Chains A and B, each alone.
Chain A
Amino acid sequence: MQAGSAGAKGGKMFRSRARIRTFSLWAVVLCMLPGILHYLIFRLVPSITNAVLSFTDISGIPGTSWKWIGWANYKEFFVLQNVRDLKNVLGRTAIYAVTVTLIQNGIALLMAVILNRKFLRGRNLYRAVYFMPEILGVTVVATVWKLMFSTPTGPVFLLMKDVMGIENPPAVLSSFDYAFPAVIASQIWMHMGYSLVIFLAGLQNISNDIYEAAYIDGAGEWQVFWRITLPMIWSTATVNTLLAIIGSLQSFELIMTITGGQFNTSTLGMMVFATAFGGRGATASGGSVSGLRQGYAAAQSMVLFVAVFIVTVISQVLMARLESEQ
């Protein structure tokens, strides 16, 4: 199916206003309407209202009055929180996004290149297995890794102690040093298959003839990868980067269920969730915000939104620049 790229090009060619209209505009629009309305009412309106609420002290307790408080919620987020801890959380959020994006896509690309090769037997089986965690969902994945990392009887602990001969292996999930890498690893384990599949799809768009020609010319695997594969799937990589960055910045479920944000694992996404639910981990220092302050929760989610937006734009610009340099 090379039609993908051809079709896209075709779209551009047909951009002129003069093309034949195939279906009545009415029918087309009428069928779009439910989707648009639903999106408007249940997605856009709440989201915009959320932005408005971030400038109020609304508590969500029925019977309480609320008032406009300007930027006070935002001030509280940036000024009142312990600066050291806030820096840590923001730093961790960045590390989380960057490492997850790089490692997850790196592994996925490598495995995709291998799984795309015809000599490999059972390719569909491997692909199915790597994609499995995505199907199982967060609760299962979190439980799986809690069991794996459990101390002092879990497999990872025993591996470190008995096989690798470490004398006092750390309790991974409750260590200030190792809990965060462990959570990152779980996130990558869970979503690698998704990136892999997208890469595989991208690879299948590359015609085999190009490869054959290259091999016949005596190019090595490494050369083929840099000269042919990478440039040709760059747009796929862009998509994957986008999805991984957004996914990792917003994600809180894995952190929430594995460590509850304790032991230096909290990120911005996790804080937003904890504030909304009145749990621990709602402040940069791991405390809770008392009394479900919805205005403040809204402000926090706006901070996250802006952060995600900026990082996404930067990453897309970066990817585009790298592409043009090639």
Chain B
Amino acid sequence: MRNAKKALSMLLALLLVLALAGCSGGETAGSGAASGSGEVADGVVQVLTWANGPTVEFLKSIADDFHEAYPDYTLEVTDVPQSEHDQVMQTRISAGNIDVVSFQQFSKPQEDWNAGSMDKPLWQQFIDAGQLTDLTDEPFMDRFVESAKADNAYKGRNYSMPTSTVAYNGLFYNKTIFEELNLSVPTTWDEFINVCETIKNDGRYSVITCGAADQWPLNMFATGIMTAQFGEECTQIGRDLFTGDMSFTDPKIIELYTMMDQFASYMEPGVTGVTYSDVPGRFAAGGIAMLADGSWQAPTIDLAEPDFEYGYFPIPGKTARTDGLAPQFGIKYDLAFGVPSNAPDHDGALAFLDFFSGKEVYTAFLNAVGGFTPTQEGITLDNEFLNSLSDNLIQPLVHAEHKVYTPKGTGEYGGSAYGFFYLKTLGGPFTPEELAEAVQQDFETAREANASLNNG
């Protein structure tokens, strides 16, 4: 049956090509010497990742070294914009012509407690369909720290190699301004508010900027503050909010919204119009005291103004830590490699992962990319900025972004980051209390719709 279908479509296509060539005076004939379909092992290890300048450049730069280390294989790197990445990954796995694919953190799987109102994320669908290779027992996985493996494991197995993390509930600060105003890096929320007040009252500088026009850079601070405020508790709170065991009108969540509102009130005027690509330059120009952004932005700030002096600190929660540690960053695993089960050069793909995670290449990778922190023990970087973060990365927290769930069909207020953008302070319609109410409403409506759909 299948072959018959294939033969028929083949025939149709052949007919068409012939007809095309015949009727249009040979204009299409012979123009497209078809290149290999890539479905057989050809010694070319094909890597797919999303467009991210430094990473892609680095991957391309190690092609020769890889070929030297593994003479049987060569490396070919393809990058596509993030918005089209998932679709391309899926089509290329369907076509069986990709050897190494890229993922972000494997977070928020569909589980028993949320299955009724949540679909499986893409990564989980791939694993459940047997499309990703189990890497757990590969020797190169031993190079990675246990926490990194545990944070990305699915049913106790690892299907991806988490190459690095990024810290992203932090603020870059202008050291010159901080020194001038006699400010030190805050370790509690109240200290942070004091810092903001001092800068505001001084009047010469804008307090905080952010690439808010792109929405996600500001949204990640809603969950960023949540990370700082609730720490490990985020996992439970995220679940309870999803299931309805906790209401958004709970005093704890209202307090969170109030903190978000306070944070927003120190943003520079018109912040929602500032595009993300402009912020490094604006911050490095020196008129703004703090930039709310992820650690990956450091190289771009350096690029905008090489002599600019800045630091990076995690936004603190209301209660100081009791274990004497400085506030810890919320992190996510940024670039994780996986190997499709149908990879034409399966062994080559594993060879590439082995090559990439070897100490030398791995260190070079982190040095080249600049904003990513290691997931292997004992890596010494020559990057001053990354090394300066070490006190805040002793017990990093998984960022709450990977712990907040939304039921399928949740309205826009309850959407990403619990509706941060709908605060009056940011030009939206709600006070913190009203927003909590609206989000709660959207969650309840969605839960009811899911329940009624599941029941019939």
A interface residues with partner B (beta carbon < 8 Å): 30-31, 33-34, 37-38, 41, 59-64, 75-76, 79-85, 146, 150-153, 157, 168-176, 260, 262-263, 276-280, 283-287, 289-293
Say yes or no: A64 contacts B129, CB within 8 Å.
yes
Say yes or no: A174 contacts B212, CB within 8 Å.
yes
Which of B16, B269, B272, B449 is the one whose CB lies under 8 Å from A41?
A: B16
- Interface membership of B130, Cβ < 8 A: yes
The main secondary structure of chain B at its interface with chain A is helix
Which residues of A sit under 8 angstroms from B410, Cβ to Cβ?
82, 285, 287
Nearest-Cβ distance from residue A283 to partner chain B, whole angstroms: 7
Which residues of B sit under 8 angstroms from A276, Cβ to Cβ?
87
Q: Which residue of B lies closest to A151 (CB)?
A: B273
Say yes or no: A33 contacts B411, CB within 8 Å.
no
B interface residues with partner A (beta carbon < 8 Å): 9, 12-13, 15-16, 19-20, 22-24, 83-84, 86-87, 90, 93-94, 96, 118-122, 124-126, 128-131, 212-213, 215, 269-270, 272-275, 278, 342, 406, 408-412, 414-416, 427-428, 442, 445-446, 449-450, 452-453
Considering the complex of A and B, which 4 residue pairs feature the smallest CB-CB distances, nearest first?
A171-B273, A151-B273, A82-B411, A80-B409
Say yes or no: B87 contacts A85, CB within 8 Å.
no
Which of B19, B121, B272, B409 is the one whose CB lies under 8 Å from A171?
A: B272
Which residues of B sit under 8 angstroms from A170, Cβ to Cβ?
273, 427
Which residues of B sit under 8 angstroms from A33, Cβ to Cβ?
19, 23
Say yes or no: A37 contacts B427, CB within 8 Å.
no
Say yes or no: B20 contacts A34, CB within 8 Å.
yes
State A153–B450 Cα separation when bound (angstroms): 45
Say yes or no: A152 contacts B453, CB within 8 Å.
no
State A203–B157 Cα separation when bound (angstroms): 71
Q: A33-B23, A61-B126 are in contact. List 19 more A-B contacts (CB 8 A).
A: A37-B12, A41-B12, A61-B90, A64-B125, A79-B452, A80-B409, A80-B453, A81-B449, A82-B442, A152-B273, A153-B278, A169-B270, A171-B272, A174-B212, A174-B273, A277-B87, A278-B87, A290-B120, A292-B90
Contact A171 to B86, CB < 8 A, known contacts A41-B16, A61-B131, A84-B411: no
Say yes or no: A290 contacts B428, CB within 8 Å.
no
Say yes or no: B453 contacts A79, CB within 8 Å.
yes
Say yes or no: A291 contacts B273, CB within 8 Å.
no
Say yes or no: B409 contacts A283, CB within 8 Å.
yes
Which of A63, A85, A285 is the one whose CB lies under 8 Å from B131?
A: A63
Nearest-Cβ distance from residue A108 to partner chain B, whole angstroms: 31
Q: Which residue of A lies closest to B93 (CB)?
A: A62
State A31–B22 Cα separation when bound (angstroms): 9
Say yes or no: B213 contacts A151, CB within 8 Å.
yes
State A170–B273 Cα separation when bound (angstroms): 8
Q: Which of B215, B269, B274, B409 has the most CB of A within 10 A?
A: B409
Say yes or no: A59 contacts B412, CB within 8 Å.
no
Contact A85 to B273, CB < 8 A, known contacts A277-B83, A291-B119: no
22 CB-based A-B contacts, threshold 8 Å: A31-B23, A38-B16, A59-B125, A60-B90, A61-B90, A63-B130, A80-B409, A151-B213, A153-B278, A157-B273, A171-B273, A173-B213, A176-B427, A176-B428, A278-B122, A280-B416, A285-B442, A287-B406, A287-B415, A290-B118, A290-B119, A292-B87
Contact A168 to B23, CB < 8 A, known contacts A79-B449, A287-B415, A290-B122: no
State A150–B272 Cα separation when bound (angstroms): 11
Nearest-Cβ distance from residue B176 to partner chain A, whole angstroms: 23
Which residues of B sit under 8 angstroms from A84, Cβ to Cβ?
411
Which of A80, A169, A174, A279 is the one whose CB lies under 8 Å from B83?
A: A279
Which of A76, A172, A260 is the one whose CB lies under 8 Å from B453?
A: A76
State A260–B416 Cα separation when bound (angstroms): 14
Say yes or no: B415 contacts A286, CB within 8 Å.
yes
Q: Which residue of A lies closest to B215 (CB)?
A: A262
Contact A80 to B450, CB < 8 A, known contacts A61-B129, A151-B213, A291-B122: yes
State A33–B22 Cα separation when bound (angstroms): 11
State A302–B87 Cα separation when bound (angstroms): 20
Contact A291 to B83, CB < 8 A, known contacts A60-B90, A62-B93, A80-B450: no
- CB-based A-B contact count at 8 angstroms: 151
Which residues of A sit under 8 angstroms from B428, Cβ to Cβ?
176
Q: Which residue of A lies closest to B218 (CB)?
A: A174
Say yes or no: B125 contacts A171, CB within 8 Å.
no
Q: Which residue of A lies closest to B19 (CB)?
A: A34
Say yes or no: A62 contacts B273, CB within 8 Å.
no
Which residues of A sit under 8 angstroms from B119, Cβ to Cβ?
289-291, 293
Say yes or no: A277 contacts B84, CB within 8 Å.
yes
Say yes or no: A287 contacts B416, CB within 8 Å.
yes
Nearest-Cβ distance from residue A109 to partner chain B, whole angstroms: 35
Nearest-Cβ distance from residue A154 to partner chain B, whole angstroms: 9
Say yes or no: A85 contacts B411, CB within 8 Å.
yes
Q: Which residue of A lies closest to B121 (CB)?
A: A290
Which residues of A sit under 8 angstroms from B215, Cβ to Cβ?
174, 260, 262-263
Contact A174 to B272, CB < 8 A, known contacts A34-B20, A37-B15, A62-B93: yes
State A41–B406 Cα separation when bound (angstroms): 41
Q: Which residue of B lies closest to A257 (CB)?
A: B83
Which of B86, B124, B212, B270 is the one whose CB lies under 8 Å from A278?
A: B86
Contact A291 to B120, CB < 8 A, known contacts A37-B16, A61-B129, A63-B129: yes
Which residues of A sit under 8 angstroms from B342, Cβ to Cβ?
62
Nearest-Cβ distance from residue A323 to partner chain B, whole angstroms: 40
Nearest-Cβ distance from residue B209 to partner chain A, whole angstroms: 11
Which residues of A sit under 8 angstroms from B414, Cβ to Cβ?
285
Which residues of B sit under 8 angstroms from A153, Cβ to Cβ?
278
Q: Which of A30, A62, A75 has the most CB of B within 10 A?
A: A62
Which residues of B sit under 8 angstroms from A60, Cβ to Cβ?
90, 94
Say yes or no: A80 contacts B131, CB within 8 Å.
no
Which residues of B sit under 8 angstroms from A37, Cβ to Cβ?
12, 15-16, 19
State A262–B272 Cα separation when bound (angstroms): 12
State A138–B450 Cα separation when bound (angstroms): 38
